[in-house]
Amino acid sequence: TINYVLANKAKSVVLASHLGRPDGTRNMKYSLKPVADELSKLLKKPVRFLDDCVGPAVEEACKDPPPGTVILLENLRFHIEEEGKGVDAEGKKVKADPEKVKEFRASLRRLADVYVNDAFGTAHRAHSSMMGDGFDIRAAGFLLKKELEYFNKALHEPEKPFLAILGGAKVADKIQLIENMLDRVDEMIIGGGMAFTFLNVLKGMKIGSSLFDKDGAEIVPALKEKADKKGVRFNLPEDFVIGDKFAEDAKVEVADINTGIPDGWMGLDIGPKSLENFREAVGRARLIVWNGPMGVFEWKSFEKG
């Protein structure tokens, strides 16, 4: 998408993105500065990094840059106005002032003439940068187009057997996706952090300090009941790679459904038996829709799933 707009005479390109969940605070662990350096290598041209995403200085930098300029803004989520909520200095949850949200969106609008959304993974969220408020011309990028084309095929012309692989943290975030998929698939794999909510509710498994989605837990029985009624083969992990803390240098062990996960430990990836079971499910499928990771793939100890 970036190369296309540059090749088709866009004077300049301003890129905005999210990274992690800094909750409206300026946590430099989630800075996009390293992204600018890597993007420069991929594009084979300089990428100018700005240390904020809104405000007079950013607006001035984006106003009339030299032709062909690529600008990357700092993480949008450093501002509470992006998501509309966050945490304060004491860690308490807070909501953004509606007037400041309007100002934030107005500043984003002043950075460019045309709005292109290429973020399929966050396109469903009503975040400020996702809305494109005030832009007369709004378009989808090529990645968003590609994802929609694949989903259209999966939903309306699926090859059979059809498998859905769903990972990620929260069941509540994926309720609609799971329900829709259960109407169409022959088989489903549930992994990632949300698997522990399913396992705790359906199997009574001890999950230690693993992720547990209290809101999602309430609808897990209904989802499983729907899978049974539809004859959908429902696959949950049988074993897990666990760590004694949420960190790259965590001590690593393997647990299973029978042993459960000890207190103070957390499931951070699927285990070897689950890996083999899921590999077999993949082998049975002609079409696969995959959304979300099976584990904390950013860390080597938990990337196999």
pLDDT tier at 291, thresholds 50, 70, 90: confident
The answer for residues whose C-beta is within 8 angstroms of residue 274's C-beta and 6 or more apart is: 191, 237, 238, 239, 240, 305
Whether domain 2-144 has CATH 3.40.50.1260: the reply is yes
Give the confidence band of 292 by pLDDT, cuts at 50, 70, 90: confident
Fold equal for 2-144 and 158-302: yes
* pLDDT at residue 250, as a whole number: 94
- Mean residue pLDDT across the chain: 93
Residue 126: pLDDT band (50, 70, 90) is confident
How far from the centroid of its chain's Cα atoms is residue 144's Cα?
Answer: 14
Compute CA distances 82 → 96, 138, 258, whole Å: 9, 19, 43
Which residue in 157, 189, 159 sits closest to 174, CA to CA? Answer: 189
Range name among 57-71, 161-175, 194-208, 282-296 with the lowest pLDDT average: 161-175
Query: What whole-number distance in Å separates Cα of residue 51 and Cα of residue 180?
Result: 41
Please determine, for residue 170, whether its predicted confidence score (pLDDT) is greater than 80.
no
State the helix-helix crossing angle for 175-182 and 220-230, rounded to 10 degrees: 10
Predicted pLDDT at 120: 84
82: Cβ contacts below 8 Å, ≥ 6 apart: 18, 24, 76, 104, 127, 128, 129
Q: What is the pLDDT averaged over residues 166-175?
A: 81
Alpha-carbon distance of 283 to 188, in angstroms, equals 13
pLDDT at 157: 82
pLDDT, one tens digit per residue, over 210-234 is 989 888 889 999 999 999 999 999 9
Predicted confidence (pLDDT) at residue 266 exceeds the cutoff of 90:
yes
Please determine, for residue 88, whether its predicted confidence score (pLDDT) is greater than 90: no
Band of residue 305 on the pLDDT scale cut at 50, 70, 90: confident
Q: What was the pLDDT predicted at 114?
A: 95
What's the Cα-to-Cα distance from 271 to each of 31, 35, 47, 191, 253, rounded to whole Å? 32, 32, 41, 11, 10
The per-residue pLDDT for 28 is: 95
Give the pLDDT confidence of 57-84 residue by residue, as tens digits: 999 999 999 999 999 999 999 999 999 9
Mean pLDDT of 75-102: 92
170 in Cβ contact with 21 (< 8 Å): no
Domain boundaries of the chain, sorted by first residue: 2-144, 158-302
Note the CATH architecture for domain 158-302.
Answer: 3-Layer(aba) Sandwich (3.40)
How confident is the model at residue 150, as a pLDDT? 82
